[in-house]
Amino acid sequence: MTVLVLTVDQRSSRGAPDRVSDALAALEALPVSPLLAFERTAGDEFQGVLDDPASLAPLIERLLRDDAWNIGLGFGDVDLPHPASARAGTAGSEAQASPGSGSEAA
């Protein structure tokens, strides 16, 4: 199964208030249904897994409006059955990440 993994990291988080909870609430309010819900993965970072490429535009647009996030996009095959959490996923052998993003398919 091919999926898209959106990994989002707050910029300048050491000198700014944590914005992850607000961002998660904003993304949850959008009319998209991630395969695996967005969740905090570490400190000021969160991740979600999508199986519909059309979901990307509204999610990324919403994050860009805040001008506070580094956004990584990974895509590729995942092992099935997929886990209940984006944090627990493993990538198949053909996983790809966008250049310089540092993200990996979950």
For 56, the domain range is 2-93
Distance separating alpha carbons of residues 22 and 39, to the nearest angstrom? 12
Distance separating alpha carbons of residues 72 and 9, to the nearest angstrom? 8
Residue 105 maps to a domain: no
Residue 104 maps to a domain: no
- How many structural domains is the chain composed of? 1
Residue 9 maps to a domain: yes
The DSSP result for 3-70, as a single string, is: EEEEEEEETTGGGS---HHHHHHHHHTSS---SEEEEEEETTEEEEEES-GGGHHHHHHHHHHHT-EE
Residue 100 maps to a domain: no
Looking at residue 96, what is its pLDDT? 44
How would you write the pLDDT of the chain (106 residues) with one tens digit per residue? 899 999 999 999 888 899 999 999 999 999 999 999 999 998 999 999 999 999 999 999 999 999 999 999 999 998 888 777 777 665 554 444 444 444 444 4
Residue 19 maps to a domain: yes
Residue 75 maps to a domain: yes
> What's the CATH number where 60 sits?
3.30.70
Residue 101 maps to a domain: no
CA of residue 106 relative to chain centroid, distance = 10
